[in-house]
């Protein structure tokens, strides 16, 4: 962005921090939520209109995973025409509003030519969406220039899926434990660092894992690795396997996963400090990771048993309702935050009082950080980090009253036939397979027309 336009955007952020289009989008989502989920800690329908994903871009995958949500026929599907993908993005934009998060996913989308996927990234940016590439990462490791093509088109976020249920990764086709995959995760972290050094663009990276009874006990070691790699990674998504597609449930629930999170931190972490849709769908913990030259510290945003933390962040959610800061340059995001706080002076006062109380309550931690950083204070860094558990549903679960309630409060949707559909319903209730059948029918009719001509 040219400097003159950047300054105009900063000034506009101070004067008018709220985006009417974003407010309309979140208000629409809020009004559709079940009444009992319209809680003060609810992020969906307040700060966010949810998250969306594409489908059909490239359903084929070159891995053969034991926990894949796609139907068996996925590898037979041809890539969706770009015009159809762009139409999906337009439907998503109408639902999420400006700054909405869209996952570019399907099967393995990096099997597409780089210039084609770059067009999808560019279209997302044109529509004022924030795209995140979802990938197993092998193709980016093999050809780092592919990632550069995408970042040149405007990509800033990538989520790498790496776990023991994957089959076909180069060098370790059948991993037996998560420890064997550390070299893959280290290679990805190095890829991100090298990309930043060579191209001047920092990728905001996340990682996801499918969790079963086999790898759940390894989660404390995995969490420690990701916290140690912040800020290369900012989010860790843990997903208990659901009986969908080519998967079989192997005895690990969302509660089991959270038990391992608590085990790592040595205390009970509040799984519902922030709601993102229905409480049964997601568990979320947000931290500030502080790194000195000698040590690492984790500062939990909302501590279990501290109502003052929840009260402050609940008020923050409402204060920044309709403010677009997602994926914005720091000066613009900061100006909008300051602009919103100026319009809500009582929240500004609350923030000051809360900050003083919080620092006093955690003075021992503050002293440790200061003692660890006193020799090189300017090399101390702080980064946000989130641990999220997403609990997807099977068809049997969706058909229960609780399942229907969860679908009505869904925060993760895909466009299907011009409407936004819950991802759980799309995968478990046959919509994805129906989209395959429709795609084949269109392809067959096109082939017949060409033959006739």
pLDDT at site 222: 97
pLDDT at site 249: 65
pLDDT at site 451: 44
Q: Which of the pair, 451 or 146, is modelled with greater confidence? A: 146
How crowded is the C-beta side of 177, counted as CA atoms within 13 Å? Answer: 6
Q: Which range, 65-79, 246-260, 302-316, has the best average confidence (pLDDT)?
A: 302-316
pLDDT above 80 for 448: no
pLDDT above 60 for 135: yes
Beta bridge partners of 287: 300, 385
Q: Where are the domains of the chain?
A: 9-452
pLDDT at site 283: 97
pLDDT 10s digits, 242-282: 887 777 767 689 999 999 999 999 999 999 999 999 999 99
pLDDT at site 440: 65
pLDDT above 50 for 452: no
CATH of region 9-452, choose from 3.20.20, 3.30.460, 3.30.70, 1.20.120: 3.20.20
pLDDT above 60 for 450: no
Separation between Cα atoms, residue 351 and residue 8, nearest integer Å:
27
pLDDT at site 1: 60
pLDDT at site 3: 66
pLDDT at site 243: 80
Average pLDDT, stretch 45-60?
96
Confidence of residue 67 (pLDDT cuts 50, 70, 90): confident
Range with lowest mean pLDDT among 17-21, 169-173, 336-340 = 169-173
Task: Please state, rounded to an integer, the average pLDDT across all residues of the chain.
Answer: 93
Separation between Cα atoms, residue 14 and residue 249, nearest integer Å:
50
Q: Which of the pair, 297 or 6, is modelled with greater confidence? A: 297
Which SS3 state, helix, strand or coil, does residue 327 take? coil
Q: Which two tokens stand for residue 452?
A: 């006739």
pLDDT at site 217: 96
pLDDT at site 73: 87
DSSP per-residue codes, 103-150: EE-SS-GGGS-HHHHHHHHHHHHHTTEEEEEEE-SHHHHH-HHHHHHH
CA-based end-to-end distance of the chain: 49
pLDDT at site 96: 97
> What's the whole-model pTM score?
0.92
| Cβ atoms < 10 Å from Cβ of 11 | 12
Confidence of residue 432 (pLDDT cuts 50, 70, 90): confident
Q: Which of the pair, 301 or 451, is modelled with greater confidence? A: 301
Distances (CA, A) of 276 to 117, 218, 282, 369, 411: 29, 26, 7, 31, 6
Q: Which two tokens stand for residue 195?
A: 């990309």
pLDDT above 50 for 36: yes
Range with lowest mean pLDDT among 2-6, 253-257, 345-349 = 2-6
pLDDT at site 441: 54
Average pLDDT, stretch 180-189?
96
pLDDT at site 358: 97
DSSP per-residue codes, 372-426: HHSSSGGG-EEEEEEEEEE----HHHHTSHHHHHHHHT-SEEEEETTEEEEHHHH
Pairing of strands 381-390, 282-291: antiparallel
Q: How many residues does the chain have?
A: 453
């Amino acid at each position: 962005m040219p400097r003159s336009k950047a300054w105009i955007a900063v000034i506009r952020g101070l004067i008018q921090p709220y985006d009417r289009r974003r407010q309309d989008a979140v208000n629409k989502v809020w009004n559709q939520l079940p009444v009992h989920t319209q809680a003060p800690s609810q992020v969906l329908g307040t700060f966010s209109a949810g998250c969306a994903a594409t489908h059909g871009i490239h359903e084929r995958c070159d891995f053969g995973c034991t926990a894949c949500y796609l139907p068996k026929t996925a590898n037979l599907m041809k890539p969706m025409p770009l015009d159809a993908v762009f139409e999906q993005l337009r439907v998503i934009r109408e639902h999420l509003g400006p700054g909405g998060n869209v996952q570019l996913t399907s099967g393995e989308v990096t099997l597409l030519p780089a210039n084609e996927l770059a067009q999808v990234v560019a279209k997302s940016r044109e529509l004022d969406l924030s795209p995140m590439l979802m990938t197993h990462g092998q193709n980016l490791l093999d050809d780092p220039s592919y990632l550069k093509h995408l970042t040149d088109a405007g990509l800033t976020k990538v989520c790498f899926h790496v776990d023991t249920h994957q089959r076909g990764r180069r060098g370790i086709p059948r991993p037996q434990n998560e420890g064997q995959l550390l070299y893959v995760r280290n290679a990805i972290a190095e890829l991100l660092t090298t990309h930043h050094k060579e191209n001047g663009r920092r990728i905001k990276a996340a990682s996801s894992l499918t969790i079963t009874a086999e790898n759940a006990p390894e989660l404390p070691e995995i969490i420690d690795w990701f916290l140690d790699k912040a800020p290369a990674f900012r989010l860790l998504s843990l997903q208990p396997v659901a009986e969908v597609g080519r998967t079989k449930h192997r005895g690990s629930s969302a509660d089991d996963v959270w038990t391992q999170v608590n085990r790592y931190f040595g205390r009970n972490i509040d799984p519902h400090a922030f709601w993102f849709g229905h409480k049964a769908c997601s568990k979320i913990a947000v931290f500030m990771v502080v790194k000195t030259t000698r040590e690492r510290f984790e500062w939990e945003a909302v501590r279990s048993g501290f109502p003052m933390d929840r009260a402050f962040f609940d008020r923050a959610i409402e204060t920044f309702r309709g403010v677009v800061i997602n994926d914005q340059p720091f000066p613009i995001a900061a100006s909008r935050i300051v602009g919103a706080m100026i319009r809500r002076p009582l929240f500004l006062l609350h923030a000051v009082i809360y900050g003083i109380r919080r620092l006093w309550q955690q003075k021992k931690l503050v002293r440790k950080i200061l003692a660890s950083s006193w020799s090189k204070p300017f090399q101390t860094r702080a980064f946000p980090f989130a641990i999220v558990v997403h609990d997807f549903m099977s068809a049997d679960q969706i058909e229960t009253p609780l399942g229907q309630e969860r679908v009505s409060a869904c925060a993760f949707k895909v466009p299907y036939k011009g409407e936004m559909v819950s991802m759980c319903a799309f995968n478990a209730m046959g919509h994805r397979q129906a989209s395959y059948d429709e795609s084949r029918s269109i392809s067959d009719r096109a082939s017949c027309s060409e033959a006739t001509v």
